[in-house]
Chains A and B, each alone.
Chain A
Amino acid sequence: MEFAELIKTPRADNVVLHQPLSQALEGTLCLTGHHLIFSSRRRDNAEELWLLHSNIDSIEKRFVGSLGTIIIKCKDLRIIQLDIPGMEECLNIANSIEALSTLDSVTLMYPFFYRPMFEIVEDGWRSFLPEQEFGPLSLMTTEWRLSYVNKEFSVCPSYPPVVVVPESVNDEELRKVAMFRQGGRFPVLSYYHTKNKMVIMRSSQPLTGTNGKRCREDEKLINATLRHGTRGYIIDTRSLNIAQQARAKGGGFEQEVHYPLWRRIHKCIERFNILQESLIKLVEACNDQSHNMDRWLSKLEASNWLTHVKETLTTACLVAQCIDREATSVLVHGTEGTDSTLQVTSLAQIILDPRCRTVRGFESLVTREWLQAGHPFQQRCAQSAYSNSKQKWEAPVFLLFLDCVWQILRQFPCSFEFNEQFLIMLFEHAYASQFGTFLGNNENERSKLKLPQKTMSLWSWVNSSEELKKFLNPLFEANSLVIWPSVAPQSLLLWEGVFLRWNRPSKHLEEAQKETVRIINVNKELQVKVNALRRQLAELETNG
């Protein structure tokens, strides 16, 4: 298919662009296969807008006489308006945008066409290979091994080819366990707590069904992670009620009789349309500046977003607490083990593991616990808050995770190597990107699409020193402690950087941020200077 077929009017003049928080601009609008480009006509200081079609969540068109207006709502929550003279042009453009922003085929997406304009120092596709990541662990313990049982994606289509499992369980047994777990997602290692050798594992629900089926290999596998005489916790991210209902559909949960060494805790974390609706309501509330205080607060409450943040964080803290304070291992799962399970295991690692609070550590975490672990990004992030499609599989699971990370970052502003911008950038790229990283739903699909060969990795770009600068937290001072966030409602905040980004001017806040950075830099310079002078003086004194 040629993009040109979809573009009847590639260019329109005298278009007026209205963007949030800035004045209307007049200029020329161009459509390409992947971008909507607007360029103001002022020669002296031409302003340009490049908008990826894939960033467009929904469009609306209106006509007043022959002046057409297109309102574009983006997945990054921005809303822009284009006034286009000429009814035909406007209709053509609207139709093109609609078609180009909803292309079916992944291979037509921009990452397959994007050619990087920066020098690639390091191929991000190869930055976080499982073998590499396993390296340090293999030096510490022989209790865990890499298994290639899923090499062909035949045991579990949503798992990567390589997973970490207990040494004492062989591949044949893994195959049997996979049959007992939904989607073949048998328990694998998610995190190893060096301090006390406790582990977080994750999986999908066991397929016990109504008659309480059991699987000895499954029991053996998870018991193999327990130290002699200790017991573990199973954190089920569903309510007991939902977990019980799941049995009717062949799913279920680990029963005490078959797992006597494990204690099960149910913590309900919402998923799917409940989350999606929550996001839609929250964005709606944030976008209306005219709400009076009561209405704003009641809308904020009705969205339930902060409740979801609190629930997710609480569960993650619970897991971290089991590991660090209680010194027990933990298995986390919900139904499929691709959504709330990953939120919980990854957040727990941020609390427990200082490495996850560095840029590379966090990238590695996102790669391991989200991309390789098979969070279906393509489905979940197909649409954002303005979508009307209401597809069951769309849900801001990853955004909720980033929000939770931001809450921890707010409470421990010196403990993270990256800043808020880094998180916002990840949110944007998960929904629309020139990079292939978040395309596909799992490693299986990614390898079929040959993404590592045909597209650029987000990490290649982020880790170039030029870009990385923007994402570093100047206050960072590594600390090796476990950081326990407060989950009291009084401590949780609305993530303004994402949800109010286009609704309130941030000039003063940004300038204050710059000033903060300046003070820190001056401090560093002065320290260096004082040290140098001291040395000089000391030399003079010894020589004199």
Chain B
Amino acid sequence: QVEQVKLLDRFSMSNKSVTGTLYLTATHLLFIDSSQRETWILHHHIAVVEKLPLTTSGCPLVIQCKNFRVVHFVIPRERDCHDIYNSLLQLSRTAKYEELYAFSYNPKQKETERVKGWELIDLSEEYTRMGVPNANWQLSDANRDYKICETYPRELYVPGTASKPIIVGSSKFRSKGRFPVLSYYHKNKEAAICRCSQPLSGFSARCLEDEHMLQAISKANPLNRYMYVMDTRPKLNAIANRAAGKGYENEDNYSNIRFQFVGIENIHVMRSSLQKLLEVCGTKDLSVNDFLSGLESSGWLRHIKAVLDAAVFLVKAIAVESASVLVHCSDGWDRTSQVCSLGALLLDSYYRTIKGFMVLIEKDWISFGHKFSDRCCQLDGDPKEISPVFTQFLESVWNLTEQFPQAFEYNEAFLLQIHEHVHSCQFGNFLGNCQKEREELKVKEKTYSLWPFLLNEQKKYRNPLYNPDFSPELTLLEPNTASFNFKFWRNMYHQFDRSMHPRQSVLNLIMNMNEQNKQLEEDIKELEAKIKQRNGQLDAVPVKECPRSAPPALKTPPCFKKQQPLIPVNDAVRTIEGSNTADNRYSEFVEEFSKAEPAVVSLEYGVARMTC
């Protein structure tokens, strides 16, 4: 506990601040300011802690979080600052999974509840929903003991004609043994999205079993014998991989395939792109042009567009040509997960429901071994493994929700909350890098699943405009991917910078209204029943109409009170009092001006007052 700590406004030119007390708990860092406002920061969320050079007012400590919160403390005594710095370094860098929050998190739930929570999402049920196994697709037990591929789940679906030797042979020819398997099956088109890693083709190697495997996939589609093979990497990267004995499919060796590069950059490019984006966003007194050129040079939106363009390409192959598609990148757990899951989201409205989205993440991300632990830096590990691949997926989905405001059951808050928990390590779902690791960690025995908690508070995450069946054409989403459709996701990257948000949120208002409407409808039923009952009692006595006296004053029922906004993040739905000049950048212009011309400023003018 350290007192008299200042929390600086991140964007203030005048280093505006609030003073309060800083506490360190086992799991959180807590700051309580003089007006008793609390800021909680989970240790696992801390990405970078930085001590800046000593200033006259104290020792500055900057904390950057994985959820893009940036806090800037000034601690009066350097010793305290140093202690906190060291403690945070230790607390935010966990060496062992067992020390993560998920293993100590206790929401005071019954054990049966906890177990039931893990049963909420059942992937075999999901494959049944898609329509597999069927005549052309079978459940393979080849990987039941993780013998063929450690990073795949135990249960895999493959073409009916793919025998075990073919599977084994193909897996030996694929990086990390990640051979082609079913990711999504489109019942109507009888076409499939399959996924795998790159082939170990080098400059000329081939593998008959792998060729058979692809043939089996194309044969499993009775409507189109051609299949697409999408290599989601830029062509140059794929060619470079050949030197390392990896590479891409040679069209001459595989019959009936159409090979296509789609050019999504690798994890390292994405990591530095986000880094640049955050630098730009964090600039004080940012000009429009610096923002736009920073946005451009970061390349971030270009990458988001590339991911969505790839998904659109995939969807066209399936929806227009009824062709199956095999997607891979290098190891098939980053770009491949993005493209497969977005493709399925565009094709199947189920994934646009709250439950369906959970299933989608469980299937294409968690079960197929997206390396959440490495990518989100759950343990103190290789910083080169960190990459915002999943964040990009969420951002792509957000862009779709902007284009199709009625097609999604969930809202932005849902996406933000998932992003929050991917990094929080509070729930077991995202721990580790693959299913095998999770089993070894016994997450299902020792931790809680995120999904029941989200489902429990789904009121917050419901899109009030959602209309599951208002337009059948909406089954297939065909987004416009012209560049101007992609917007900077302010609510993600500035989620905690309240002064940048609209002061009134239409979404929250409509959400509340929608909830209120349900309540009102119930009230009406109840009232009508009561009136009926009354009338029944009064049957003998004729009901007097039009009483002369004024109706008695009505008690305001609870539902008439302005309901509390559902989302804590935007608790100022209606209040504008919080809006004040000091929150905004223009207020500082005056002050800056006064600094530039100190001779002109006299206290009588009260320029100093203007900013406070």
Q: Which residues in A have some Cβ–Cβ distance to B below 8 Å?
A: 231, 256, 263, 265, 267, 286, 289-298, 300-301, 304, 306-307, 309-310, 313-314, 317-318, 321-322, 324-326, 328, 410-415, 475, 477, 479, 481, 483-494, 500, 503-505, 508-509, 511-512, 515-516, 519-520, 522-523, 526-527, 529-531, 533-544
B527 engages A508 (CB within 8 Å): no
Q: Which residues in B have some Cβ–Cβ distance to A below 8 Å?
A: 11, 281, 286-293, 295-296, 299, 301-302, 305, 403-407, 464-465, 467, 470-471, 480, 482-488, 490, 493-494, 499-506, 509-510, 513-514, 516-517, 520-521, 523-524, 527-528, 530-531, 534-535, 537-538, 541, 543-544, 547, 551-552, 554, 557, 560, 574, 576-577, 579-581, 583-587, 589-590, 593, 600, 604-606, 609-610
Interface centre among B516, B538, B590 (most CB of A within 10 A): B590
Given contacts A411-B503, A414-B509, A491-B500, contact A301 B584 (CB under 8 A): no
CA distance A533 to B535 in the complex (A): 13
Q: Which 8 A-B pairs have the closest CB atoms?
A: A489-B291, A512-B405, A296-B483, A301-B292, A297-B296, A526-B520, A293-B302, A533-B527
Specify which of A289, A492, A536 is in contact with B531 (CB 8 Å cutoff).
A536
Specify which of A289, A307, A326, A539 is in contact with B547 (CB 8 Å cutoff).
A539
Between A and B, 30 residue pairs with Cβ closer than 8 Å are A265-B593, A267-B589, A289-B484, A297-B295, A301-B289, A304-B289, A317-B587, A321-B590, A321-B610, A326-B610, A328-B606, A412-B503, A486-B500, A486-B501, A486-B584, A487-B584, A488-B286, A488-B584, A489-B288, A491-B490, A492-B288, A503-B484, A505-B480, A511-B471, A519-B517, A530-B523, A533-B523, A535-B554, A540-B534, A543-B543
Chain B residues whose CB sits within 8 angstroms of the CB of A290 once the complex forms: 482
Interface centre among A485, A533, A541 (most CB of B within 10 A): A533
Specify which of B11, B579, B600 is in contact with A263 (CB 8 Å cutoff).
B600
B514 engages A526 (CB within 8 Å): no
Given contacts A263-B605, A540-B543, contact A533 B524 (CB under 8 A): yes
A413 engages B517 (CB within 8 Å): no
Chain A residues whose CB sits within 8 angstroms of the CB of B292 once the complex forms: 297-298, 300-301, 306, 489
A515 engages B406 (CB within 8 Å): yes
B510 engages A318 (CB within 8 Å): no
CA distance A489 to B286 in the complex (A): 7
Chain A residues whose CB sits within 8 angstroms of the CB of B610 once the complex forms: 321-322, 325-326
Specify which of B470, B494, B527, B531 is in contact with A490 (CB 8 Å cutoff).
B494
CA distance A256 to B599 in the complex (A): 12
Chain A residues whose CB sits within 8 angstroms of the CB of B538 once the complex forms: 540, 543-544
Specify which of A293, A298, A488, A511 is in contact with B500 (CB 8 Å cutoff).
A488
Given contacts A293-B302, A306-B292, contact A523 B516 (CB under 8 A): yes
Given contacts A488-B585, A526-B520, A543-B544, contact A537 B465 (CB under 8 A): no
Q: How far is the CB of B503 from chain A (nearest CB, A)?
A: 6
A306 engages B464 (CB within 8 Å): no
A504 engages B574 (CB within 8 Å): no
Given contacts A294-B296, A508-B406, A535-B554, contact A541 B534 (CB under 8 A): yes
Interface centre among B290, B293, B503, B544 (most CB of A within 10 A): B503
Q: How far is the CB of A404 from chain B (nearest CB, A)?
A: 13
Q: How far is the CB of A235 from chain B (nearest CB, A)?
A: 11
B584 engages A297 (CB within 8 Å): no
CA distance A505 to B482 in the complex (A): 12
B524 engages A530 (CB within 8 Å): yes
Specify the chain B residue showing the minimal Cβ separation from A231. B605
Q: How far is the CB of A256 from chain B (nearest CB, A)?
A: 8
Chain B residues whose CB sits within 8 angstroms of the CB of A504 once the complex forms: 480, 482, 484-485
B483 engages A293 (CB within 8 Å): yes
Specify which of B301, B501, B535 is in contact with A293 (CB 8 Å cutoff).
B301
